[in-house]
Structure 1
């Protein structure tokens, strides 16, 4: 492992090197192939995405187009569903639990740039991991920022910007994203704006 890769994964300041660029190009090669697959060729798509990611479950679906930086820093559990135009900026670890649902245009970002302009001009960067629990649904156009942990059984509302940790069993929305209520028995009876869940399911 190179010094700059070690610094990147440890959350220390680092700068881009030819080795890191080459790693990103390897990911881009796979992404190019993946994003140009025929939509019905699920066997090929699954094979490529499993080669790209560091760890996956058996069951996953990643809609085209999809974007990431390195791929090997992404670890997902079982039954992952990711809708179109997702970006997983995995300069550090992105760990996603079982049964995750990502709506269109979701962005998970582990990379950051320094506030001080001289450090930015010196091309110093940093990263922080993102951890997402089991049974999480992230709504369309939501952004999850570096260093955030999202607990189990969480719904993140569309358009939210998640800047801080979100605890288990809640609905959180907004910019900045904040908890608005707990998941409760009402949600077992009504699935959307007073519409009852059918017993015939």
Structure 2
């Protein structure tokens, strides 16, 4: 792995324009496209694509599709994972998802970041080539979490185990375990407790 790619994964400034990252991105985009051409009942084809696309994954994972991964190889998913329509993952830094995680439609996991100052953000010429420099921060979603529809998780956020993120929330920082989070930016409303157990459920 090249130094530029290691810098990317460590959240340091890097350029996405290297041959190695271009190769990784093309593969991630192609495999995402291939997955999106399959139907729900084509389980063997989907499993083969995900095995090539993702860095690692557990058992019993289901991605409704369509999906879009920047690289895919820098994303790991645990057991019993479900993602509804239109999952987007920009895994310029590692994305780590635990067991028993559910994602609603239009969820975006975005590790990529850009400088606020345009002087650092704009394209610049380096050795006769126009380049931009970026950076990022990892995302971790721990076990037993549910993210509602249209949730966006930004880099540098760890969502603690057992948490629920309400629809439309933008997560910008760490979330304690067993938290109910809503809003933009996301804020902890309260802890999820035994009082939230539904009485008409059989367990």
Calculate the TM-score normalised by the size of structure 2: 0.92
SS in 2 for 1:31: helix
Q: Deviations over 1:143-179 (max 9, x none)?
A: 0001101100000000000001000011111111011
- 1:13 matched residue in structure 2: 13
Distance 1:135 1:38 in 2: 27
Q: 1:138 to 1:118 in 2, by over 3 A?
A: same
Matches of 2:166 and 2:172, distance apart in 1? 14
Distance of 2:173 and 2:188 partners within structure 1: 11
Distance 1:198 1:102 in 2: 21
Answering whether residue 35 of structure 2 is matched by residue 34 of structure 1, we say yes
Aligned partners of 1:161 and 1:151: how far apart in 2?
15
In structure 1, the partner of 2:47 is 46
What is the alpha-carbon distance in structure 2 between the residues aligned to residue 116 and residue 3 of structure 1? Answer: 25
Residue 68, structure 1, aligned to residue 69, structure 2: yes
Partner of 2:172: 163
Q: Per the alignment, in what secondary structure is the counterpart of residue 50 of structure 1? A: helix
SS at match of 1:32: helix
Q: Secondary structure in 1 aligned to 2:109?
A: strand
Whether the 8 Å CA contact 1:46–1:61 is kept in 2: the answer is no
CA-based RMSD: 1.1
Q: Gaps (5+ residues) in structure 1?
A: 191-195
1:40 Cα deviation from its structure 2 partner = 1.6
- The answer for unaligned runs of 5 or more in structure 2 is 125-131
1:197 maps onto 2:196 in alignment:
no
User: Secondary structure of 2:161's match?
Assistant: coil
Does residue 1:174 correspond to 2:177, yes or no? no
Which residue of the partner structure matches residue 134 of structure 1? 143
Number of residue pairs aligned between Structure 1 and Structure 2? 194
Question: Which deviations, in whole Å up to 9, do the C-alpha atoms of 1:88-128 show, x marking residues without a partner?
Answer: 11011000000000000000000001111111113110011
Give the 5 Å matches for 1:72-151: 72-121=73-122, 122=124, 123-151=132-160
TM-score where L is the length of structure 1: 0.93
- In structure 1, distance between residues paired with 2:84 and 2:149: 9
Which residue number corresponds to residue 193 of structure 1?
none
Query: Please, which moves more after superposition, 44-53 or 86-95?
Result: 44-53
Distance 2:181 2:139 in 1: 17
Measured in 1, the distance between the counterparts of 2:66 and 2:5 equals 27
